[in-house]
């Protein structure tokens, strides 16, 4: 069993608190992505898991063994680094063998067999005798992954392994990592700052900010039901629009108003008793659209286009609404130029409200599997 249980994990360097109490359960065979902006403590957390950093407080258990004091080599983990960390004076095969040869009781045949298997799995058998400098970035990362594979670990730890690759190769390696994980079903903890990588790779995604866990959920759930404004803004490209708004109860209905905008909110979860100023209305760029493209719109508003960005598959508009700038995804080839005034409407099933602390108080649709509990905390 190689599930991981992290309880109240903390890390303090001198007077800097890098990790401020993380509780996390990672299931056996799960691919968990830890994502967050730089300096949020995600790498520190991974390094504590690996045993490269000491734990200030809390506990880490792999399987049913608490590993706080277990040296890295006895944790049955393997780690892949962003800069590949290959020994430049050794060939690919020697790189894969070195750790096993010099620090373990494996027989020569066993090591040879494992390297054979790993090179075959990763399709790098022809690179065995090349040194790192004769390999491309993608090939180097494959060798580094191969080195992790030969350990046959219980847990893979990956620290931004794709960040040094160019965009095209990254997409390709992403798919290969997924395939590899499906074949091996080894518990994997993957750290990245790239929310696209997080969404595409993770069975679940843990969003970290300022040393604290913000939300752990499946990618789509994270996208649809962020628990706070940080998660809402971090996940999704371009980021969610945030509009300061006030909500008033009028009879049975709640109406959100902001300069230039008035919306009747559908009865979703958590709307009862909200009658407040100082809220923030969140709506994703793809959930705002031109009125001309929608049928049966009851509430619309106008905004002035300030910038247009043709992205090929869509046209991204930056619009001025009151004092706020909102981003809107519209059909490509729409005949819209900067300075035009457009009439817009929102998808009322995809609205979010955040209170002044940034916590989500309302989503206009309700998660299918769970209702109130998602918002309870």
Partner 1 sequence: MATETDTTNIDARRLVHRLPDDVLLHGGIVFSILLMASPLLLAVIMSTQSTTEVYQVTNLGLGSKGLSNYSDALVNYDFSTYMLNSFVMSVIVVVGKVTLSLFAALALVYYRFPYERAVFMFILLTLLLPVPVRIVPLFQLMADLGWTNSLLALTGPYIASATAVFLFRQQFMGISASLVEVARLDGVGPLTFLFRVLIPMSRGMIAGVCVITFIYTWNQFLWPLVVVTDKSSQVVQVGIRYLQGSAQAGLTQWGLIMAGAVLALLPPLVVLVVLHRPLLRTLTIQQK
Residues forming contacts to partner 1 in the complex (CB under 8 A) are 50-52, 71-74, 77-79, 81-83, 85, 87-89, 98-100, 102-104, 147, 151
Q: Output the smallest distance, CB 39 to partner 1, in A.
A: 18
Query: Which is nearest to 32 in space by CA: 146, 186, 148?
Result: 186
Q: Residue 312 corresponds to which tokens in the numbers above?
A: 């090929």
Backbone conformation region of residue 123, classed left if phi is above 0, alpha if psi is from -120 to 50, else beta = left
Based on CB atoms, which residue is closest to partner 1, 79 or 149? 79
Alpha-carbon distance 208 to 214, whole Å? Answer: 6
Structure tokens that stand for 339 in this block: 């300075």
DSSP strand pairing (4-13 vs 16-26): antiparallel
Token digits of residue 187 = 């518990």
Closest CB to partner 1 among 88 and 296?
88
CB of 63: closest distance to partner 1 in angstroms?
Answer: 18
- The 3-class secondary structure across 226-241, one letter per residue, is CCEHHHHHHCCCCCCE
Residue 68 and residue 59 in contact, taking contact as beta carbons nearer than 8 Å = yes
At closest approach, how far in Å is the CB of 89 from partner 1? 4
Contact 86, 67 (CB under 8 A): no
Does residue 71 sit in helix, strand or coil? coil
- Nearest distance, CB of residue 154 and partner 1, angstroms: 13
Shortest distance, position 180 Cβ to partner 1, whole Å:
19
Nearer to partner 1, 89 or 113 (CB): 89
Closest CB to partner 1 among residues 147, 204: 147
Minimum distance between the CB of residue 181 and partner 1, rounded to whole angstroms? 20
Q: Which is nearer to partner 1, 98 or 200 (CB)?
A: 98
As a whole number of angstroms, the longest Cα–Cα distance in the chain is 79
Q: How far apart are CA 132 and CA 151, in angstroms?
A: 20
**Do 67 and 61 touch, CB atoms closer than 8 A?**
yes
- 200-203-205 Cα angle (round to 5): 75
The token duo for 46 is 């991974």
- Point out which residues pair with 249 in neighbouring strands: 254
Shortest Å distance, C-beta 170 to partner 1: 19
Write down the least CB distance from residue 164 to partner 1, Å. 12
Contacts of 335 (CB under 8 A, 6+ apart): none
- CB–CB of 63/154 below 8 Å? yes
CB of residue 8 to partner 1, shortest distance in Å: 25
**Separation of alpha carbons 107 and 105, rounded Å:** 6
* C-beta closer to partner 1: residue 84 or 234: 84
**Least distance CB 185 / partner 1 (angstroms):** 22
How far apart (Å, rounded) are the C-alpha atoms in residues 81 and 68?
Answer: 21
CB nearer to partner 1: pick between 100 and 328? 100
């Amino acid at each position: 069993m190689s599930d991981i249980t992290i309880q109240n994990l903390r890390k303090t360097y001198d007077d800097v608190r890098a990790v401020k109490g993380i509780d996390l359960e990672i299931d056996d065979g799960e691919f968990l992505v830890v994502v967050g902006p730089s300096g949020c403590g995600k790498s520190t957390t991974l390094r504590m898991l690996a045993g490269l950093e000491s734990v200030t407080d809390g506990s880490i258990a792999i399987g049913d063994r608490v590993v706080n004091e277990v040296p890295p080599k006895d944790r049955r983990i393997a780690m892949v680094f962003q800069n590949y960390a290959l020994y430049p004076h050794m060939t690919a095969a020697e790189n894969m063998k070195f750790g096993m040869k010099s620090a373990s009781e494996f027989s020569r045949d066993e090591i040879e067999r494992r390297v054979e298997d790993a090179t075959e799995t990763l399709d790098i058998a022809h690179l065995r005798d090349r040194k790192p400098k004769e390999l491309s970035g993608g090939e180097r990362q494959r060798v580094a992954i191969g080195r992790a594979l030969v350990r046959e670990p219980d847990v893979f730890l990956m620290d931004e392994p794709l960040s040094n690759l160019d965009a095209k190769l990254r997409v390709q390696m992403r798919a290969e990592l997924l395939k590899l994980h499906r074949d091996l079903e080894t518990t994997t903890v993957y750290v990245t700052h790239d929310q696209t990588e997080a969404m595409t790779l993770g069975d679940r995604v843990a969003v970290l900010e300022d040393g604290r866990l913000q939300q752990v959920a499946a990618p789509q759930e994270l996208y649809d039901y962020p628990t706070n404004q940080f998660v809402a803004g971090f996940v999704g490209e371009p980021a969610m629009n945030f509009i300061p708004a006030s909500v008033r109860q009028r009879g049975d209905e709640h109406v959100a108003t902001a300069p230039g905008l008035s919306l009747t909110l559908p009865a979703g979860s958590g709307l009862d008793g909200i009658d407040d100023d100082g809220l923030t209305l969140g709506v994703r760029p793809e959930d705002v659209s031109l009125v001309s493209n929608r049928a049966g719109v009851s509430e619309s508003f106008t905004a002035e286009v300030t910038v247009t960005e043709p992205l090929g598959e869509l046209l991204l508009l930056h619009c001025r609404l009151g004092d706020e700038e909102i981003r809107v995804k519209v059909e490509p080839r729409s005949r819209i130029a900067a300075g035009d005034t457009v009439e817009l409407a929102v998808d009322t099933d995809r609205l979010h409200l955040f209170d002044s602390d940034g916590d989500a108080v309302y989503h206009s649709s309700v998660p299918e599997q769970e209702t109130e509990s998602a918002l309870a905390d």
